[in-house]
Amino acid sequence: MASVNNINTQVDLSARTFNTFNSPTIDVNSNEYVVVNSFFKSVSRSTFDTDNLTATFFLISQATGIPVLTLLDQIEGTNELQITATMASYLNAVRSPSALIGINATVVPNFYAARNVLP
């Protein structure tokens, strides 16, 4: 019997990865979502930013395995700059080390590798 969840073998694996790369799925408790979203509404003035921060917060929680409300307890009572730094550190923990957020130090390549790069 056919199922909706069967993988289409006619589609290449790289195409399937590309099609689902920017649309992660996560199960969210509605009560926790309201709590986190209302916190970010109190901090941010933009509803677009609030919704993005809330979604990112749940993705960070899923990637790190730390419950959302525990993460929220860590940033409650801090100012906007500290929240930005904390969110950057959480995102850096789950991202590739080649694309870190909030790092201002310029990466200096090895001399021999740098001279082989054509302009």
* Residues 47-80 pLDDT 10s: 888 888 888 888 888 888 889 999 999 888 888 8
Q: What pTM was estimated for this model as a whole? A: 0.63
Report the distance separating Cα 65 and Cα 63, nearest Å.
Answer: 6
| Torsional sign, CA 31, 33, 37, 39 | positive
Domain positions in the chain are: 28-94
Q: Give the confidence band of 1 by pLDDT, cuts at 50, 70, 90.
A: very low
Largest CA distance in the chain: 60
pLDDT in tens, 19-44: 666 666 778 888 999 999 999 898 88
Nearest by Cα to 91 from 116, 71, 69 = 71
Q: Please state, in angstroms and rounded to a whole number, the distance separating the CA atoms of residues 68 and 66.
A: 6
State the Cα–Cα distance between residues 25 and 19, nearest whole angstrom. 13
